Structure 1
């Protein structure tokens, strides 16, 4: 087996709380082990399902058909029945999920199955854990789930790859699944009993995508405050709007806390004369706006963490009491609402960054810097193209901010007659977080160019450190040059710049330096 070189590992014990950070870590090989206690609980539940079914008592999907075909008897061979389930559900379409998303989904599914209430065989957990310890990732089409009976189609594609069917990634290489398994040192999974249904009957893609989205949004919230701090200093604006006396009166603790964070970032800064008595809302109302985003993130984190650590399956089994309970834990409405809320919050951060860039490029408001931050207005266009692209991205963000969670359509022979579309909500929130990173990177590039053109240097230690980092990442725009790659590079590096600087302090680069 291709083993992990990463020091992170997780013990699946049915007790520990799985977090969004754990799912982010699953992008790389991750050591996952099943504790002895969890293994015993899983085996006990699988035996309970076998014995319950052998007694002739009905169990959905084990002794019956699937969905609206529940009134018909299942195939007499459980393995054939399970393979048929995966085959008919492997009808997804669209682009395949990024490997990191697919791997996060596998970890989320393993965590649920390890609770010991799904009747799955221990071999399934072993195969899931082994795959996460390698660079293997299933190739999963993004369209196919309505989020109501779990993420049936995406999880069926993933389960199929573990059985050697379909396609999978090994690192960045897309291969036939059987080849990818072999190269990763993994053996194909053989389905038994209720394994197939347990693998697909849950909200693991919805929860995983939402977890990754909220993690990205959390990083972008920090970036929003850091960039705002440098913008305030670049304009020589006053930080009066962060006054604790002012924010206490707002009644919102999140706005007050956000103002404290921003005030700390601006510690040491000095306003200059000539600025308006009151700055525009893109500066003055940042504590209120970003504070509201913080509240939203806290709510989404609570909902997503609960979903990751619950059992989204049907039916669920209780060997200790002999109960088999049929219900709807796989109906992902909570995460759907939460992901839509996250989408709105991320879009507003995009609005903020785009408007701040516009402020920075306007000579009437930016303290006398040139229009479009051009080094030679007329002969050069500066960041005019970056400005247009940022506007385009924000327009796209607004268009995709329409809630998915209210788009219910009856399907599945009216068995699923109301659906939450949580998968679409979560995947869209994740895409929105990526769009936001591009807009924030555009603003960062503007701040770097403003420094080159003579904007006041940050006096705060936080602002000086960030500007030094930006100067390392991108050279001045003089003369004009293509900037698409600069924006993409900053979009990748900005969310983690603090981690890098804490271990490797940014080398001082004069803002007028041409170094890249």
Structure 2
């Protein structure tokens, strides 16, 4: 069953964006236009010419795979497809989240649509048809080393499209053949080159890194806003954002962050009750968040390049009569970028946790009650939430060790260096969610602070943010479980999900 989408279609002939990947989580129209079809057909015709020449080797079409490249592959194309995919059915662990699985296949489709992979046009048609439905291949989390492509996870995705393995439809896990029938899809028919082209790219790594970047960017903006709200609620002097001061610091990210924070705090009036110099979690926030901005700009560039590049091997260039064998399936750029995302998450998350700690401490919060409890002792305010944020930060720190430095040889030393980009990317995606929850925790604390005696913000933008939070979340008075409130607050301040938040 195809679901009609009113969103802007994704055109495989146009540049691919992170917004496209995010839209692909839901049924989405994917266009395979005439220009795409023409270049894919030309690449396919060239592949046929090359395969007919007994003197021209083509990896994976005429040969075995990986360390077994020196041996002949299977003679029949359908058998060579099975040969490619069957041995890669070795993944383990939980299935990848649906948004990553579908974004992965969109990244893969865009790469194949460039016409240099030698695939059949019907492969793109099959992928486009899938995106119009709620079909999600079941892809195990563990098995890739991020080189020669994300072979094992992409093999599971490809097998699901062939009606083998498992898939989800509307969130229900089913045998893949039944899932295809339920949404009205026909199993993909592939030859050896089609199969290898579908698995021989780092599309899981790219997709997860891109989605993690989008989430971390949203949280980074939220922490800027919440820092301004904290400063306003406490009555801090905004001088720590002075344009002359920050310009003298000399870092582009700090200037960009401070400009935005000054705009958010425009109209604030210091209370005069705060010390001359605020703790670093307030006073040094533009420097810390500015450094994060500089790092995120690096990740922006890597993700943009990955989304605009072809990840496959070999590549076919009909105009040059060239079959190029190389390493464009090596996910080192995304591995570095995802590790940078983890470091940014750790530092920005630590800042948010320290700001909440300041806010609940009566010795530093300008006399607000401990834990922001409406009746200390009889009530506990944010005490449970503050404990949880400590656990979130501890988990982020535990997981922030770079994955890209952990190379291990494998595949009979054919893959003697590997980037572990998928480990870095999936870890960054997980940590991005913890950062989002830290934002929600701080936001909930600031909403509660105003309820228990903190001043109403004097900057219009800060007052509007408090009103948004207060309009959706009642004060903690009396105590209640706050897990749903943290998630709702996170949605409100990060703009997650493009949906109306609820407390359910």
Report what 2:247 is aligned to.
248
Residue 33 in structure 1 maps to residue 31 in structure 2: yes
Residue 320 of structure 1 aligns to a residue in which SS?
helix
Q: Classify the secondary structure of the residue corresponding to 2:136.
A: strand
Rounded to whole Å, the distance in 1 between the matches of 2:252 and 2:422 is 32
Q: Kindly report which structure 2 residues correspond to 1:371-450, keeping only aligned pairs within 5 A, or say none.
A: 371-450=370-449
> 1:57-86: per-residue Cα shift (whole Å, max 9, x none)?
210011000000001000011211111211
Equivalent residue, structure 1, for 2:226:
227
Could you tell me which residue of structure 2 aligns to residue 512 of structure 1?
none
CA offsets, 1:424-449, max 9 Å, x none? 10111111110001111111111111
Structure 1 position 171, deviation (Å): 2.2
Q: C-alpha distance in 1, partners of 2:335/2:175? A: 33
Is the 1:5–1:29 Cα contact (8 Å) retained in structure 2? yes
Query: In structure 2, what is the equivalent of residue 66 of structure 1?
Result: 65
Preserved CA contact (<8 Å) 1:168 1:180 = yes
Aligned to 2:47: 49
C-alpha distance in 1, partners of 2:158/2:496? 37
Residue in 2 aligned with 1:336? 335
CA contact (8 A) 2:469 2:492 kept: no
Q: How does 1:73-472 map to 2 (within 5 A)?
A: 73-472=72-471
Report the more deviating stretch, 291-300 or 156-165.
291-300
Contact 1:145 1:151 in 2 (8 A): yes
Which residue number in structure 2 is paired with residue 19 of structure 1?
17
Per mean C-alpha deviation after superposition, the further-off stretch among 150-159 and 130-139 is 130-139
The answer (yes or no) to whether the contact 2:88–2:151 under 8 Å persists in 1 is: yes
Secondary structure at 1:142's aligned position in 2? strand
What secondary structure is seen at the aligned counterpart in 2 of 1:156? Answer: helix
Could you tell me how far apart the structure 1 residues matched to 2:400 and 2:471 are?
A: 34
Q: Structure 2: how far apart are the matches of 1:136 and 1:329?
A: 29
Asked if 2 retains the 8 angstrom alpha-carbon contact of 1:92 and 1:141, the reply is yes
User: Using the alignment, how far apart are the partners of 1:33 and 1:153 within structure 2?
Assistant: 27
Distance 1:240 1:500, change over 3 A: farther
Deviations 1:358-392 (A, max 9, x none): 00001011010011111111222211111110000
Question: What secondary structure does 2:454 align onto?
Answer: coil
Write out the 4+ residue segments of structure 1 that deviate beyond 4 Å after TM superposition.
497-501
CA deviations 1:171-220 (Å, max 9, x no partner) are 21221111111121111101124100000000111000001011111111
5+ residue gaps in structure 1?
505-514
Question: CA–CA distance in 1 between the matches of 2:114 and 2:51?
Answer: 21
How far apart, in 1, do the equivalents of 2:445 and 2:225 lie? Answer: 14
Give the secondary-structure state (helix, strand or coil) at the position aligned to 1:71: coil
- Cα RMSD for the two superposed structures: 1.6
CA distance in 1, matches of 2:194, 2:288: 47
> For the residues of structure 2 that align with 1:303 and 1:69, how far apart are their CA atoms?
32
Asked whether the 8 Å contact 1:6–1:29 carries over to 2, the reply is no
Is this contact kept in 2: 1:50–1:193, CA < 8 A? no
Moved more, 43-52 or 491-500: 491-500
Over residues 114-141 of structure 1, what are the superposed CA-to-partner deviations in whole Å (9 max), with x where a residue is unaligned?
Answer: 0000011001100111111111111111
Q: What TM-score do you get using the length of structure 2 for normalisation?
A: 0.97
The alignment's TM-score, normalised by the length of structure 1, stands at: 0.95
Q: Is the 8 A contact 1:204 1:308 kept in 2?
A: no
CA-CA distance at 1:87 after TM superposition: 1.3
Helix, strand or coil at the partner of 2:167: strand
* 1:400 to partner: Cα distance: 0.5
Give me the whole-angstrom Cα distance separating, in 1, the residues matched to 2:410 and 2:331: 16
Partners of 1:46 and 1:497 in 2: CA distance: 41
- Deviation of 1:153 after TM superposition, in Å, equals 0.6
Q: Following the alignment from structure 2 to structure 1, what is the Cα–Cα distance between the partners of residues 203 and 391?
A: 32
Contact 2:314 2:325 in 1 (8 A): yes
Q: Distance in 1 between matches of 2:59 and 2:295?
A: 38
Distance in 2 between the 1:10 and 1:486 partners?
34
Shift of 1:473: 2.5
* CA deviation vs aligned residue, 1:324-378 (integer Å, no higher than 9, x gap): 0110010110110011011101111100100000000010110100111111112
Work out the CA distance in 2 between the residues paired with 1:327 and 1:176: 36
User: Which stretch shifts more, 469-478 or 381-390?
Assistant: 469-478
* Alignment gaps of 5+ in structure 2: none
